[in-house]
Structure 1
Amino acid sequence: MEVEGFALDPIQIGVFFGLTALIGGLTWWQCSGGRARGNAEDKNSAHDYFLAGNGLPWFFVAGSITLTNLSTDQLVGMNGNQMLLLAWWELAAVAGLFILAFVFIPVYYRNNCTTTTELLERRYNNPHIRALISIIFMAGSLLIFLPAALYGGSLFMQTMFKVDIPLMVIAFFFATLGAAYAILGGLRAVAVSDTFSGVGLLTLALLVVFLSLKAVDFDIVTDVPMERLSMIGADGSPIPWHTLFTGMILIQIYYWSTNQTITQRAMAAPTVREAQKGILAAAGIRLLIVPVIVVVPGVVAFKLYGDINDAAFGTLVGDILPGYLSGAFAAMMAAAVLTTFNSLLNSVAALYVVDIHQRYFQPNANVPRVATIFSLIMTFAALALVPVFQNAESLINLLQELYGLGSMPVLSAFVLALMFNNVDYRAAMAGVVFGVAFYGLYTFYLSPEGIVTMHFIHFMAITFFATLAFALAVNRVAFGKTATLRIGKHEGEAAAPAE
């Protein structure tokens, strides 16, 4: 079989489609068995529909958290930097997962939250800030994460199979199948397929590490510049060492503890303890396995091919794995793309249906129907934005830099809610708007023009504290309220309503 002059190995293609079908079959079997055992959800209850009836055991929580995060933006993007330094993103994530397990998850369960933003409504005693944060989450998914997942997965398939199939064609395949999972199967199908795919992906990714090292006689030092091997980032590197003590931990708290896409998996467990077991298992995987697989192949690719950026991982896998194994790995990568995409779709649908549609338009809406329509709209919009990412020099660096537009302002709203009493919701909303504008000014003007040369991770920390200070000042000056530290108070206690 050939595609525009490039031969496709029939064994490779057969293994790819065979394993993809196997994962789908196992997912259907497990989900059907779960319903038969009494884990059925009330499909028109938003809480049950989006949280799988609170029936996910810890191992599915761990698997879904791992593979929802571990997709092509990590494997393709981080290896595309072709340096060991990028492992810090994954190592620092362990701290974020511990904070999720022991700080945020007990609060979410105590307040019986369907979305993370529901906590904000309870604390500020007003739905509007909940809606604002949901809109920011949805915008981030639409403009950044959904198209990035499609682009990264399509690029990997294109470079690994060495075909000239247009990226948009491959992206359409991923988008169609991913949307079908999210719409027809719901969170349970997403979590189960995540776990099955995760076992295969992590196993084969470790094999890629071993075979890539073997290809260079286990020597990645010779002929590789030291800046690509050092774990202490210089000022001009993607992660200068001093940023680990400023914005890095804040980014991890935001991503793992307030991001609906991640926390939704943990909130779907039957108990806090079961959720914590899953989160800690995911942290163990993040610490022991993920850092190696997202950086070592990239450095080996630099030694073999030179600086080829985001094409590094797909090119290396296509060269070092035999046809049947590369087909298997491609199937696992495809599953990773699909689960990341459908997890994002499922979470943004939850935010829209629960926080926007039922609140402002139709309280008794048909949840599956509204979720389906919204998911389809987001799918087509994400496809339209894929070409934007083709012009990025580095996928992962672009994603991390754009995080700050919403992440630090959103995190400030959660911190104000959990740490302070007597904060008016309008002050918190003003802080969020200020934070988005403040970081946007840096990203699109001050940094490109060289007016501010500070690393974006440092500026994220500045944005976070500036947003907190602005909100507290507005709270005092505009609304005449003095915020007090919330020490020894019950987390579910609501703030005083706005006057």
Structure 2
Amino acid sequence: MLNNIDIAIFVGYVLGLLVLALYISRNDKDHERNTQDYFLASKSLPWWAIGASLIASNISAEQIIGMSGSGYAIGLAIASYEWMAAITLILVGKYMLPIFIKNDIFTMPQYLEQRFDKRVKTTLALFWLSVYIFVNLTAVLWLGGLAIETVAGIDWMYGMIFLAMFSLAYSLYGGLKAVAYTDIIQVVLLIFGGLLLSYLALDAVSDGQGVVAGFTVLATGLPGHFEMILTESNPHYMSLPGISVLVGGLWIMNISYWGFNQYIIQRALAAKSIQEAQKGIAFAAYLKLLMPLIVVLPGIAAVVLHPNLTTPDQAYPSMMALMPTGIKGLVFAALVAAIVSSLASMTNSISTIFTMDIYTQLKPEKSQRHYVFVGRCASFISLVIALLMAEPLLGKFDQAFQYIQEFTGVFTPGIVVIFLTGMFWKKTTSQAALAAALGSALFSFALRMYWPELPFMDRISIVFLLCLAVTVCVSLMGNATTSDQSVDLSHISFGTQRSFNVSAFGVVVILNTLYVTWW
């Protein structure tokens, strides 16, 4: 429970963040705010804001609470989601981002319209809106509400309402610019709080003998929790099926999330230049390498300190009891910071897709001011829907992170096939793209029904290959897309600056070291 000092520190953080967001938003008052200002921060974001905002958008309740819970149940192997994401970010920055920026887009569906047609754009736009509202927003709100109930003793429903109102208060007016710049503070606080909690957890495990001694206690006392590649005999093999983590479905999931996910890639699209965007992505890659130390390690320590938790997702909130007075309020603020940052990012992207890909097609003659107003309304309505649906959808699941991956994995293979073939193979047709989208769901449900013992990550790999085969066959049987401008790569440079290349090499070296050490 929080005492008066913790509450005062937390309230001070909330008020300070709101004041900063309003100050940032006021800088745009010299002209009427248009859609580029609101949805893409006037394309003015520097690399450090992009990198920080990428991580703040990604690391939320489902990551902190969910991955810590998976660390409690599974162990260090769940860190593959974070570590493999680092190398995925490098690939996205080098090979995919130049194409998107060259095509001058606001949204991922907009690119699909340029490359294919309105049918493909609308289909994927509706899919993303559904997933963001009914999976991502609901998960963040639900886990955030549970965390507030555990730490502060406030009912989870009131906690969710507070989170929704807080995120709207600082993001609704200022748009992406307010979100991105306040994310810098969020990330600093998140990393500081997470590292401090890991330090205190390891020190507690070793009975005050220090971090190294605590890590040794965990590694020797819980050897199964430090296996990066799980064997078939492991009870959690279905979630992380051995070597497939390195060569199979996890690649597909990461490419989809970091390359084609609107609320992630939108930060890079708002960069001053392609070089700034790539620097920001490289910065985010290194922060991803650090994340398991912040979110997974406390969960593993909780196995020793709190062995009888009702559900794994209680691990991180329970570990916060280690925090001394005052610091607990700061770390609680860091947790809330991660949650509201993701909520703001998701609602901003929901409003961007709805406004730019759906509403503008229905009402094409409206003013820029009107579209910004519609975007704000979409943000508000999406949060109301998520508040109402959070408990019915997620209330019965022990590990929310695994549930999210399982659900999104149904559609991920088809999305990756559509984008990769659309970007790098001119013969891909609109009919083939639609067939991949439909096939992804049909193949996934069929395999789940008739081959239930197949790990979901392996299922993603198989569905990806099936969707790829369908796309190639349908494309070869049809007429190639006539609009070649968006797929013409002859004028796109995939060359990168030396700083980016050095950063990429460093990520590869660190990843190899980590996996060799904990194989």
1:176 match: 165
- 1:60-209 equivalences in 2 (<5 Å): 60-81=49-70, 82=72, 83-124=75-116, 126-161=117-152, 163=153, 165-209=154-198
Listed as ranges, the matches of 1:249-260 within 5 Å are: 249-260=251-262
In structure 2, the residue matched to 1:495 is none
- Which residue does 2:497 correspond to in 1? none
Across the aligned residues of Structure 1 and Structure 2, the Cα RMSD in angstroms comes to: 2.2
Distance 1:411 1:316 in 2: 37
Please point out which of 423, 431, 448 is paired with 1:426: 431
Q: Quote how far apart the aligned CAs of 1:214 are.
A: 0.3
Equivalent residues of 1:220, 1:300 under 8 A apart: no
Partner letter of residue 96 of structure 1? T
| Aligned residue number for residue 280 of structure 1 | 282
Matching residue of 1:12:
6
Return the alpha-carbon distance in structure 1 between the equivalents of residues 16 and 481 of structure 2. 59
Hey, what's the Cα distance between the residues in 2 that align with 1:481 and 1:264?
29
CA shift, 1:299, in A, is 0.9
Q: Provide the residue aligned with 2:505 in structure 1.
A: none
Structure-2 separation of matches of 1:334 and 1:63: 16
3-state DSSP of counterpart to 1:234: coil
1:55 aligns to what?
Answer: 44
Distance 1:403 1:172 in 2: 25
Partner in structure 2 of residue 4 of structure 1: none
Cα separation, 2, equivalents of 1:42 and 1:50: 14
Contact 2:219 / 2:226 at 8 angstroms: preserved in 1?
Answer: no
The one-letter code sitting in structure 2 at the alignment partner of 1:157 is I
Note the C-alpha offset of 1:489.
4.4
1:373 maps to amino acid: C
Shift of 1:354: 0.8
| 1:232 aligned residue | 229
Distance 2:78 2:272 in 1: 35
- Ranges in structure 1 where 5+ consecutive residues have no aligned partner: 1-6, 493-499
Q: Aligned pair 1:475/2:475, yes or no?
A: yes
Q: Which residue does the alignment assign to 2:498?
A: none
- 1:397 is matched with which residue? 402
One-letter code of the match for 1:145?
N
Q: Which of 311, 315, 319 matches 1:312?
A: 315
Post-superposition CA distance 1:123-159 (Å, at most 9, x none): 22x2221111111111111111001010111111221
| Change in CA separation of 1:76 and 1:224 when aligned onto 2, cut-off 3 Å | farther
CA distance, structure 2, for counterparts of residue 488 and residue 25 of structure 1: 44
Distance in 2, matches of 1:458 and 1:181, equals 41
Which position in structure 1 is the counterpart of 2:17? Answer: 23
Of 263, 267, 270, the residue aligned with 2:269 is 267
Q: Which segment is superposed worse, 295-304 or 19-28?
A: 19-28
Distance 1:41 1:422, change over 3 A: farther
In the TM superposition, residue 256 of structure 1 has moved relative to its aligned partner by 0.5
How many Å separate the matches in 1 of 2:102 and 2:488? 17
Against the structure 1 CA distance between its residues 70 and 222, is the aligned structure 2 distance closer, same or farther, given a 3 Å change threshold? closer
Contact 2:93 2:277 (C-alpha < 8 Å) held by counterparts: yes
CA distance in 1 between partners of 2:49 and 2:386 (Å): 27
For 2:319 and 2:98, the matched residues in 1 are separated by: 43
Q: Which string of whole-angstrom CA distances, capped at 9 and with x for unpartnered residues, describes residues 410-461 of structure 1? A: 1111012112113321221122112122223444x34xxxx33111111111
Q: Which amino acid aligns with 2:372?
A: P
Structure 2 match to 1:457: 457
Number of residues of Structure 1 aligned to a counterpart in Structure 2: 469
Question: Equivalents in 2 of 1:442, 1:294: separation in Å?
Answer: 32
Deviations 1:378-411, CA, capped at 9 Å, x for gaps: 1111011211212112011111111212222111
Q: Secondary structure at the match of 2:452?
A: coil
- Contact residue 436 and residue 468 of structure 2 kept, 8 A: yes
Residue 295 of structure 1: aligned partner: 296
Q: 1:99-145 deviations in whole A, cap 9, x for unaligned?
A: 22111111111111111222222222x22211111111111111110
Percent sequence identity over aligned pairs: 27
| 1:174-230 alpha-carbon deviations (Å, 9 max, x no partner) | 112223333212001111111111101101110111111000111433784422222
- Matched AA of 2:129: M
Give CA-to-partner distance per residue, 1:31-84, whole Å, 9 cap, x none.
43x548xxx67523x333210100111111111001100111111111112111
3-state secondary structure, aligned to 1:113: coil
Q: Tell me, in whole angstroms, the C-alpha distance in 2 between the residues paired with 1:488 and 1:134.
A: 25
CA offset at residue 361 of structure 1? 3.9
How far has the Cα of 1:488 moved from its partner?
A: 6.2
What is the 5 A alignment of 1:307-346? 307-308=308-309, 309-317=312-320, 319-346=321-348
Aligned partners of 2:53 and 2:184 also within 8 Å: yes
- Structure 1 residue aligned with 2:421: 416
Deviations along 1:238-294, one digit per CA (max 9) or x if unpaired, are 32222221111111111001100000011111100011111111111111x212111
Q: Quickly say closer, same or farther: Cα 1:362–1:122, change in 2 above 3 A.
A: closer
1:376 — aligned with what?
380
| Partners of 1:105 and 1:181 in 2: CA distance | 28
Change (3 A) 1:491 1:466: farther
Counterparts of 2:454 and 2:21, CA distance in 1: 47
Q: Residues 87, 127 of structure 1: CA spacing in aligned structure 2 closer, same or farther, 3 A cutoff?
A: same
Superposition pairs of residues 352-363 of structure 1, within 5 angstroms: 352-363=354-365
Q: SS of the counterpart of 2:409?
A: helix
Does the aligned pair in 1 maintain the 2:25–2:173 contact within 8 Å? no
Secondary structure of the structure 2 residue equivalent to 1:274: helix
Query: What residue is the counterpart of 2:211 in the other structure?
Result: none
Say if 2:429 and 2:480, in contact at 8 Å, map to a contact too. yes
Point out where structure 2 has 5 or more consecutive residues left out of the alignment.
Answer: 207-213, 494-519
Q: In the alignment, residue 291 of structure 1 is paired with which amino acid?
A: P
SS in structure 1 at match of 2:410: helix
Shift of 1:307: 5.0
Q: Does structure 2 conserve the Cα–Cα contact (< 8 Å) formed by 1:160 and 1:315?
A: yes
Q: Deviations over 1:303-345 (max 9, x none)?
A: 011153000100111x210121111111121111111011000
Structure 1 residue 43 and structure 2 residue 45: aligned?
no
Q: How far apart in 1 are the matches of 2:192 and 2:421?
A: 42
Are positions 1:435 and 2:426 aligned together?
A: no
Alpha-carbon distance in structure 2 between the residues aligned to 1:50 and 1:222? 46
**8 Å Cα contact 1:78/1:396 also seen in 2:** yes
Q: Which amino acid aligns with 2:352?
A: A
Letter in 2 for 1:43: R
TM-score (norm 2): 0.86
Residue 224 to residue 310, structure 1, CA distance change in 2 (3 Å)? farther
Checking the alignment, whether the CA contact within 8 Å between 1:137 and 1:406 is kept in structure 2 is no
- In structure 2, the CA distance between the partners of 1:213 and 1:340, relative to structure 1 (3 Å rule), is same
Residues 440/362 of structure 1: CA separation in 2 closer, same or farther (3 Å cut)? farther
8 Å Cα contact 2:298-2:316 kept in structure 1: yes
